């Protein structure tokens, strides 16, 4: 089998595609993959590092306001479609899978014009512009949240979850908190705002540090590499023995597997990882995303009893520590939330999406 994968712009579009490839390889080791990404996107670094064949297209996103840049965007898109058709004709895939981002729009649309089966995957509760555009011509559509079903043509979309969840759930973790000077016999709260950190979360944790120093549970605070020094400069209280401040964690899924509660944004990848591991969480949605989709993502977990949510305008040292205490100082609450998180986590998402791909090819 020959498969083209395409998705870019953020890790939330890239990692599900790579996780899916792992699942397919287990079933069909001889499968040939080609990943088509954008020239300047993070996928141009992430994907080649895995050893997967990679090709590049030049695209850019639309501006929300009226702008002459949008004329260039359309021109680049049409050019990217032409280039994508050349790639498709040369590689001759059995199916093209798009996981979101502007580059996948050009690749999947080109495949649809050439009558090649296409599958798109939507990780968020609010469908992205690219996937909505591609949905009518898609052979099959997989979504991670039930609420996304109604945003696609009736009967075409199926809930499959996020393949990243299956990848994380099957991970064997040998991580010990002793590696960073903490204890393995204490409850641990992990706080992070994404790979680059989040200023609002960082500021709230700085203000809450004195309170965290006094808690029986231990706290690991990941600032983001570019914000680490700024956090240290702003601190007026030094961390106690039960608190560690780090710029970055490169083996995050392994660390998460040893965590009792998590404070995080509500991106699709974070939620997939959290629920795959069955961890209670405090979600702080980013207000700077299209369609406020992180709030909708978080609300899905809150409604299921798997998480607490703090809006960014309501975030403070007080609201953060109160939420943390709710999860880590009340075993009944944390156990109930862990059970619900486990219940809604889709641990066979990669298998489900793989089945959808086979269905698309066989149609």
Q: What Å distances lie between residue 130 and 59, 77, 120, 324, CA to CA?
A: 13, 12, 10, 37
Give dist(CA 81, CA 76) in Å, integer. Answer: 9
Residue 195: closest CA among 338, 45, 10: 10
Give dist(CA 274, CA 251) in Å, integer. Answer: 14
Give dist(CA 280, CA 345) in Å, integer. Answer: 12
Give dist(CA 288, CA 340) in Å, integer. Answer: 28
E strands, 217-310, where?
A: 218-222, 243-246, 261-264, 281-283, 307-309
Give the β-pairing of 95-98 and 2-6. parallel
Q: Is 60 annotated as a binding residue?
A: no
Q: Residue 28, SS3?
A: coil
| Cβ-based neighbour number of residue 48 at 10 Å | 13
Q: Is 195 annotated as a binding residue?
A: yes
Q: Which residues contact 150 (CB under 8 A, 6 or more apart)?
A: none
Q: Is 311 annotated as a binding residue?
A: no
Q: Is 11 annotated as a binding residue?
A: yes
Q: Which residues contact 355 (CB under 8 A, 6 or more apart)?
A: none
Residue 3: closest CA among 15, 190, 28, 209: 28
Q: What Å distances lie between residue 331 and 37, 181, 282, CA to CA?
A: 45, 25, 16
Give dist(CA 204, CA 320) in Å, integer. Answer: 7
Helix (H) or strand (E) holding 167: helix 163-169
Give dist(CA 124, CA 134) in Å, integer. Answer: 16
Give dist(CA 172, CA 247) in Å, integer. Answer: 24
Pinpoint the alpha helices (H) of 235-346: 252-256, 268-277, 293-303, 317-328, 331-344
Q: Is 10 annotated as a binding residue?
A: yes
Annotated binding-site positions for UDP-N-acetyl-alpha-D-glucosamine: 10-12, 124, 195, 249, 294
Which residue numbers belong to the known binding site?
10-12, 124, 195, 249, 294
């Amino acid at each position: 089998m020959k498969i083209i994968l395409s998705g870019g712009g953020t890790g939330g579009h890239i990692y599900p595609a790579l996780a899916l490839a792992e699942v397919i390889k287990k079933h069909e080791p001889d499968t040939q993959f080609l990943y088509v990404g954008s020239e300047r996107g993070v996928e141009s670094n992430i994907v080649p590092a895995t050893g997967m064949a990679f090709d590049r297209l030049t695209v850019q996103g639309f501006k929300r306001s009226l702008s002459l840049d949008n004329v260039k965007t359309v021109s680049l898109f049409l050019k990217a479609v032409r280039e994508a058709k050349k790639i498709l004709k040369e590689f001759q895939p059995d199916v093209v899978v798009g996981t979101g981002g502007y580059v996948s729009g050009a690749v999947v649309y080109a495949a649809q014009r050439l009558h090649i089966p296409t599958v798109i995957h939507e990780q968020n509760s609010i469908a992205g512009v690219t996937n909505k555009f591609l949905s009518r011509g898609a052979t099959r559509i997989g979504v991670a949240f039930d609420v996304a079903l109604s945003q696609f043509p009736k009967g075409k979309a199926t809930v499959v979850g996020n393949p990243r969840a299956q990848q994380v759930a099957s991970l064997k973790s040998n991580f010990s908190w002793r590696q960073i000077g903490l204890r393995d016999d204490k409850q641990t709260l992990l706080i992070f705002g994404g790979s680059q950190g989040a200023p609002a979360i960082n500021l709230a944790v700085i203000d809450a540090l004195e309170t965290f120093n006094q808690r029986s549970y231990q706290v690991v605070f990941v600032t983001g590499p570019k914000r680490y020094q700024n956090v240290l400069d702003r601190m007026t209280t030094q961390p106690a023995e039960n608190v560690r401040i780090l710029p970055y964690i490169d083996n995050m899924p392994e660390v998460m597997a040893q965590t009792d509660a998590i404070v995080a944004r509500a991106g699709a990848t974070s939620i997939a990882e959290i629920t795959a591991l069955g961890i209670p969480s405090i979600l702080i949605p980013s207000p700077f995303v299209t369609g406020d989709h992180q709030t909708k993502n978080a609300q899905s977990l809150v409604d299921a009893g798997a998480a607490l949510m703090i809006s960014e305008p309501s975030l403070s040292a007080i609201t953060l520590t109160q939420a943390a205490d709710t999860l880590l100082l009340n075993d009944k609450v944390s156990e109930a939330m862990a059970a619900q998180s486990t219940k809604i986590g889709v641990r066979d998402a990669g298998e489900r999406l793989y089945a959808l791909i086979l269905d698309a090819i066989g149609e």
